[in-house]
Every structure is written in structure tokens, then in C-alpha cells.
Structure 1
Amino acid sequence: MPVTLFLALGAILFCIGLYGVLTRRHIVVVLVCIELMLNSVNINLVAFSSVGPVANVTGQVFSLFVITIAAAEVAVGLAILIALYRNRASIDVIKHDLLRSS
């Protein structure tokens, strides 16, 4: 399969994730969309690692690092989500304006 198909798939998934981050108000959906964006980057990294006369594992290693960072991001994001829900009893992004001056 040509690499351009994988790159197109990665671009489409990234755009869907970006649209979800910018338009959704639910924090869990925003976290899922961020994960979708990170996975589209992983698809691109693995696709680029297969290009060339000799297959290179550098893109696959970077993909593992991105997966590790994504797992840490989800853990921190869910911890923040639980703390916000305990304090405000809501997980709506618009209602959490803690940095806005009164």
C-alpha cells in the first residue's frame, strides 16, 4: 500500500480530533479527541518509518514514546476531571472558568 494512504488517514483522523477538541463541551469527549489526535500522529510516524530503501525503526520508537505520553496525559486529565467534578459537580468545559477574574 502506498504511504500516501496512511498519511491521508492520519490527516483525516487529526482533523476529526481537532474539530472535537474545539467544538465539544464535555471534558471526557475532549480527552478522547486528544487521544485520537495523538494516535493519528502515531500512524504518521509508523508510515514515515517504512519509507526509504531500508526500513527504519525510529518512527516506531517515537510512536512508543507518544503512547507513553498519551497514557500519562489521560491519567493526569482524569485526575483533574475527578477533582473538578468533586468541587463543582459538573464536567462541562464552559462552566469551569477558575482563572477568569470576577
Structure 2
Amino acid sequence: MRSLRTWVLLLLAAVPALLFGSAGTAQAHPFGTPPVVKVEAKGSAVVGLIVLRGRDALLDRVSRSPAVRTWTRRVPLFAASAVVAGGAVASALAAGQLLAP
């Protein structure tokens, strides 16, 4: 049986791999793929302007979404609950290790 430390390390390695790896591209763009524009121009000012306009359009669309508004209120509660639950599990495992004969 693997130790608790091994499981924690596996979890810490799996989360970034799922979020940022090639298998996790759906999570990286939850509102669809970002707008892509091909521009033939000299200089980076035009490209930067198009990127900023695309970002602003995406943020405007997302900020009006009722689903996003609902989840932005719930996510901190879920995160805090996960921290409390993880602390309780870690405390119980530590107490079990200390009390074990």
C-alpha cells in the first residue's frame, strides 16, 4: 500500500497535468476557443490591438453570463469546503498514525 505522501504527490502532479496538459485543453478554454485573426501588417502594434479587442469581446460576453455570475459566488464556498475537508482528513490520518500501536 502506498503511503499518504505518495498519494499527495500523485495528486499534486495530476492536477496541473489535467489542467494544462494536452489532454486538458477543454478546461483551458471553458468558453470556447479564443478568437484568432490573421493580419498581414508590419509591426506588432496591429497584432496587439487585435488581441486586446478579442480579449475585451470575450470578457464582455462572459461578464453578462448568468451561469458565470452564479458560479463565481459558489466557487469560493466549494474551495473553502475542500480545504476544511482536506485538513480534517489529514488530521485524522495523523491522529491515527500517532495512536497506532
TM range (shorter): 0.3 to 0.5
What TM-score do you get using the length of structure 2 for normalisation?
0.39
- Name the larger-Rg structure: 2
What TM-score do you get using the length of structure 1 for normalisation?
0.38
Higher relative contact order (Cα pairs below 8 Å, separated by 6+ residues): 1
